[in-house]
């Protein structure tokens, strides 16, 4: 079949453009002060209720953090055009199709610290592959440039950094978590941020194994939320795929007992044109296929964001049932031991009931062979 080519664009180009727009559009819920973007600013921010935040500063107390509490840390992905708008992700996701709720509240009410690791001045690139490279190497297509917002509202790239974004976040994390003694740390990485969660945790693993960081700081569990990996081997990755780098790091973490879960909610992350579904990794973790049918098929952006909304919201509900089984499904409320069981199963989970509503409260999953 011959498809029309409006504006002189091929169907392939149009699809790619749409996919890239979906990946790059973010939950722009929190406007930060201008000085957070006129200089390089990255690392841990702790959140209270109502999307109130306070930056983590080593050696200083923080209104929203206690060293002895369980801790969940969210890591965002590609964030094109966020610096010029002074935008960063928060925990009210109403503007990306979610409920008008603070999804951190249930966690905080249960005694958890809730944080975000920001790296958006590095991930604000026009090409997702250029942002992705900064997770793993310093010699990617755009090096380690970062985006500055000037006083007149314009932006300009700066070229004074020679470490990966992962190394910078690791140094920030180590400085702020060196005295941590809580019983659990959990990472949740969305889209491209899943790779950052894995790469960062792998550096933490090395530091813990060498004795330079307390074992309590190693994530017990990592949630990959609609995870994205570019396709194809790249010379700056040693002719490997990004999915391979992520997979091998995840396997090292699994060997150290870290639990992994993944939730796919859109076709954006596994399209034949752009995304690598990384099936060898997905087959080794607790995998759930969400079906956000509350959105139309063309609302892939909202579907892509849904994994974050669903995961953080699911903590507010009892563990979810599985069809024709007394077992419990994977969710943020599931125990770590249950995630381990699902990792070792030859089954994955697929959304069965509740797909036409956003709330996880009426959801049921079903077992499907991997």
Report the distance separating Cα 113 and Cα 108, nearest Å: 6
**Residue 301: CB partners within 8 Å, gap ≥ 6?**
21, 22, 25, 96, 268
Residues, the chain: 370
Closest by CA to 48, choosing from 93, 104, 110, 111, is 104
Phi, psi of 19 (to 5 degrees): -65, -45
Per-residue pLDDT tens listing for the chain (370 residues):
332 333 333 433 334 445 555 555 555 468 999 999 999 999 999 999 888 999 999 999 999 999 999 999 999 999 999 999 999 999 999 989 999 999 999 999 999 999 999 999 999 999 999 999 999 999 999 999 999 999 999 999 999 999 999 999 999 999 999 999 999 999 999 999 999 999 999 999 999 999 999 999 999 999 999 999 999 999 999 999 999 999 999 999 999 999 999 999 998 776 666 789 999 999 999 999 999 999 999 999 999 999 999 999 999 998 899 999 999 999 999 999 999 999 999 999 999 999 999 999 999 999 999 9
- Kindly list the domain boundaries of the chain, sorted by start residue: 6-369
Q: DSSP per residue over 159-190, as a string?
A: ----S-HHHHHHHHHHHHHTT---S-EEEEEE
CB 98 within 8 A of CB 358: yes
**Distance between CA atoms of residues 242 and 246, nearest Å:** 6
Residue 275 gets which letter from DSSP? B
Is 322 in contact with 368 (CB distance < 8 Å)?
no
**Cα angle vertex 165, ends 143, 277, to 5°?**
90
Domain spanning 6-369, CATH class: alpha beta
């Amino acid at each position: 079949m011959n498809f029309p080519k409006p504006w002189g664009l091929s169907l392939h180009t149009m699809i790619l453009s749409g996919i890239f727009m979906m990946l790059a559009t973010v939950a722009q819920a929190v406007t930060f002060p201008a000085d957070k973007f006129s200089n390089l600013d990255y690392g841990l921010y702790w959140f209270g209720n109502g999307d109130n935040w306070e930056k983590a500063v080593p050696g200083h107390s923080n209104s929203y953090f206690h060293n002895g509490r369980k801790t969940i840390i969210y890591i965002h992905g590609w964030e094109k055009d966020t610096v010029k708008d002074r935008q960063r992700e928060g925990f009210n996701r109403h503007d990306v199709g979610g409920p008008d709720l603070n999804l951190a509240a249930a966690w905080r009410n249960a005694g958890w610290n809730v944080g975000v690791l920001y790296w958006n001045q590095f991930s604000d690139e026009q090409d997702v592959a250029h942002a992705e490279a900064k997770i793993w190497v310093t010699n990617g297509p755009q090096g380690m440039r970062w985006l500055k917002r000037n006083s007149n509202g314009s932006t300009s790239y700066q070229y004074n950094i020679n470490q990966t974004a992962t190394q910078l976040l690791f140094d920030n994390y180590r400085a702020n978590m060196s005295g941590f003694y809580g019983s659990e740390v959990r990472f949740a990485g969305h889209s491209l941020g899943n790779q950052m969660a894995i790469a960062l945790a792998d550096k933490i693993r090395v530091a813990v194994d060498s004795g330079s960081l307390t074992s309590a700081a190693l994530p017990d569990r990592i949630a990959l939320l609609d995870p994205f990996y570019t396709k194809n081997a790249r010379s700056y990755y040693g002719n490997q795929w990004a999915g391979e780098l992520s997979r091998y790091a995840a396997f090292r973490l699994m060997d150290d007992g870290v639990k992994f879960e993944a939730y796919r909610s859109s076709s954006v992350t596994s399209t034949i044109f752009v995304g690598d579904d990384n099936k060898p990794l997905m087959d080794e973790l607790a995998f759930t296929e969400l079906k956000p049918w509350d959105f139309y098929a063309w609302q892939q952006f909202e579907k892509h964001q849904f994994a974050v909304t669903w995961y953080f919201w699911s903590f507010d509900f009892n563990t979810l049932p599985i069809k024709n089984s007394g077992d419990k499904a994977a969710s943020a409320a599931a125990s770590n031991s249950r995630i381990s069981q699902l990792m070792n199963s030859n089954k994955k989970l697929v959304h069965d009931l509740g797909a036409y509503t956003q709330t996880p409260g009426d959801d049921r999953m079903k077992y499907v062979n991997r």
